[in-house]
Structure 1
Amino acid sequence: MGLALTIEGLTVRGDDGRTLLDIPSFSMAGGEALAIRGPSGAGKTTFLMALAGLVPCSGRLLWGDTDIAALSDAARARLRRDTLGLVFQDPNLFEELGPLDNAALAASFGPRNTRATLRTRAESLLDRFGIKADNRAAGSHSGGERQRIAVARALATNPLVLLADEPTASLDRATGEALIEDLFTEASTAGRTLVAVSHDEALLARAPRVITLIGGRIAEAARA
């Protein structure tokens, strides 16, 4: 089962001291799927980066029993490696590598005794997403294929939490809808906690829970 999220007094400030995010309290159950919507500049990506421990913040931000805001940089990096899967608008692939080498990238950094299992899982995910685990350079794949490779990379470590930032923004409608189904179906099947930031109405409609951010604050929380 994915991890529960508990937020208490979360604040993120910019370099100029301006408040970018101010969330007094928020929670979601382990294994729940959440979509975050809002206008540009509302703090959606900042929120996701805070959830990943990638921006300095104050307050309490707990994944399960672990307050990521209180961890050292090294401990946050370990938590991301072991617990979180990240998907961004740009797939950020190594263009010269094939799909499997990209999807199994974490095997290069993890313990030696886990590498074979991780590559096997990455290959299985690619197959599930319709991508051949061959040596064809990732740079020669379509946008939809590249994003599926990125999703397979995020899931290859079997994370308890999947965080996705505008995962369909650069895709055509049919490809985007297919990726949305991949994300929600895989998360549901594995009992994974899913948080996705998006302007995509199809993704928002697919999510069982949606919140709206405006000016760095939660302005609305509703069931889609």
Structure 2
Amino acid sequence: MNSHRTTTASAVLVGAGLMKSYGLTRALAGVDVSVSAGESLAIMGPSGSGKSTLLHCLAGIEGPDAGQVLLGGERVDQLGEPHRSELRRTRFGFVFQSGQLLPELPADENVALPLMLGGISRRQAVQKAREWFPPLGLAGMEERRPGQLSGGQAQRVAIARALVGSPQVIFADEPTGALDQITGMEVIDLLVTTTRRQGTALVVVTHDEDVARWCDRTVRVRDGRLSEEARTPDGAAGTNAVAHAARGTAGRPTGHDTDARYDR
């Protein structure tokens, strides 16, 4: 992992002085956060702490009441909704807890969907989408529909969809929350490793300490403020994965062939 500390000057995505309230409830109370290209950042906190609100503000899903969100120095928070929608489609990628794949489309068209929405022809979009299947352990599954995939396979399809447009930042909201422990570790390993290799910044909202250990840095949100920041020691993610494998794989399938009945 990278050993340098992220600075605003080197960051691809910056949130500065972010404040957000819903009625009398303050969800964010002056949050400063940043993430660099190829870096992974975990955001943790109890339910209602403001971590999901922080992700939504950084991703342009919601606008902050005060503060700034900058992507490559450009003010995201000042864009109108049509421009923010285009930004979410072209420069951001998203991985959700449930995957949110369209059940009527085969896997390759689910991955190609952001490209087709951007005006690329179906043939070209599907061709580009299929390039992601072998490196993500999905070779041969291009024509399967979501109902024919295990939970882990479906989440890898969602990762491919997030990456296919070469975004600058990927946001992952509880990406392992619907998976069993072993499959979840495989998925977060794949997500962190692939984004680091692509030079894509990764922001992960999670309640799982084991998931956070895969990321380069962890910030904790409490009562709308960042209460703590920590770096993951070099090699800790791999050590964590080995420990999980030793505890949980006896008598169970592992790797990309994890059976659907374990993906609950």
Shift of 1:42: 1.0
Residues 24 and 148 of structure 1: CA distance in aligned 2, closer, same or farther (over 3 Å): closer
The structure with more radius of gyration: 2
Shift of 1:95: 0.9
Aligned counterpart for 1:205 among listed residues 213, 224, 239: 213
Sequence identity of aligned pairs in percent?
37
Q: Quote the RMSD (CA, aligned, Å).
A: 1.8
Q: What letter corresponds to residue 47 of structure 1 in structure 2? A: L
Shift of 1:3: 5.9
Number of residue pairs matched by the alignment: 221
Residues 116 and 12 of structure 1: CA distance in aligned 2, closer, same or farther (over 3 Å): farther
CA-to-aligned-CA distance 1:172-216 (integer Å, 9 cap, x gap): 112111111111111111111111011222221111111001111
Shift of 1:160: 1.0
| 3-state secondary structure, aligned to 2:43 | strand
Shift of 1:87: 0.8
Shift of 1:138: 1.1
Aligned counterpart for 1:220 among listed residues 218, 228, 237: 228
| 3-state secondary structure, aligned to 1:162 | strand
Q: What letter corresponds to residue 21 of structure 2 in structure 1? A: R
Supply the distance in 1 between the matched residues of 2:18 and 2:165 (Cα, whole angstroms): 28
Residues 137 and 36 of structure 1: CA distance in aligned 2, closer, same or farther (over 3 Å): same
Contact kept, 8 Å, 2:16 with 2:30, in 1: the verdict is yes
| Structure 1 stretches lacking a partner, 5+ long | none
Q: What letter corresponds to residue 54 of structure 1 in structure 2? A: I
Q: What letter corresponds to residue 14 of structure 2 in structure 1? A: T
Q: Aligned pair 1:23/2:30, yes or no? A: yes
Q: Larger deviation: 178-187 or 126-135?
A: 126-135
Supply the distance in 1 between the matched residues of 2:71 and 2:31 (Cα, whole angstroms): 16
| Structure 2 stretches lacking a partner, 5+ long | 1-9, 233-264
| 3-state secondary structure, aligned to 2:63 | coil
Please show how residues 32-47 of structure 1 align to structure 2 within 5 Å: 32-47=39-54
Supply the distance in 2 between the matched residues of 1:3 and 1:139 (Cα, whole angstroms): 39
Shift of 1:24: 4.1
Instruction: Tell me the TM-score normalized by structure 2.
Output: 0.78
Q: What letter corresponds to residue 26 of structure 1 in structure 2? A: V
CA-to-aligned-CA distance 1:24-44 (integer Å, 9 cap, x gap): 433333332111111111111
Supply the distance in 2 between the matched residues of 1:32 and 1:107 (Cα, whole angstroms): 25
Runs of 4+ that moved beyond 6 A: none
Name 1:190's counterpart in structure 2.
198
| 3-state secondary structure, aligned to 1:126 | coil
CA-to-aligned-CA distance 1:39-98 (integer Å, 9 cap, x gap): 111111111111111113121111111111111111111111111001111111111211
